[in-house]
Amino acid sequence: LFLSFVPIFIAAQDTIQQDTMFRKKTFIEDDPVVIMLDSLASLKIFEDSGFPKANQYQNWNTYEDNDVPGFPDSVYRERTARMNDQSPFEFVYNQEVKKFIELYAVRKRKLTARILGLSQIYFPLFEEQLDKYDMPLELKYLAVIESALNPTANSPAGAKGLWQFMYGTGKGYGLNRFDPYKATIAACEHLSDLYDIYGSWSLALAAYNSGAGNVNKAIRRSGGMKNFWAIQKYLPKETGSYVPAFIAASYVLTYASEHK
């Protein structure tokens, strides 16, 4: 009986080792999403804040204090489809999106909790301006990808603020990049301009990240396809991960209670 379990144990160990190698290869240290989440660790506003007690949140009574909820692909797919039905965005679920769901909900869950705290400050401002410009309210999640809602975020490339404007782009919209109110208005105007060009929010997000020039080049190289997933492999690596990260952040913040 003992000998019959040895191959199973070895196979399990091999699977765990392969999974660990996959995770190491999947998330490299200079991943822009990881960098932005790590930048929140230095925010003074939350440095002394502990986690709330389990009984303060709905659904938490079904978990032990140290539980980290996870769900099968079928549940993620069903929830994402539900979001898609209620949104002008193309919310899809695939393995790339799953990778970022695990980043936000598991690997960086403490920082995601801080983002949830910051969202109470910034999301009402975002939603007010998005509504004023008649734009999808889901665009508020874009600032999570850009800055992890860190109002003083600085990228290595020189982008600044909640919406990570470069100097030239920010100057074109006449803003102080660290001013949350003006930056939000500028982000609405810039995203609206990009949507007018492509007629697709996914492509508008890609252009927001890497510029219209790179998106236009990817469209040409794909043979004229105007679909993010069709041109993804022709985009810069960071931009190729941008929409999956956006979908994952939207999912995790929508289902934050279910993920404790």
Identify which of 116, 110, 89 has the alpha carbon closest to the alpha carbon of residue 191.
Answer: 89
Q: C-alpha distances in angstroms, 114 versus 70, 109, 117, 179, 228? A: 20, 9, 5, 20, 30
Residues annotated as catalytic are 146
Please classify residue 91 by burial: count the beta carbons closer than 10 Å to its beta carbon, then call 0-12 exposed, 13-18 middle and 19+ buried. buried
Left if phi > 0, otherwise alpha if psi is -120 to 50, otherwise beta: which for 155? Answer: beta
201: which residues sit within 8 A by CB, 6+ positions away?
88, 89, 90, 136, 139, 195
Q: C-alpha distances in angstroms, 122 versus 145, 179, 180, 221? A: 14, 12, 8, 38
Q: Residue 250 in contact with residue 138, Cβ under 8 Å?
A: yes
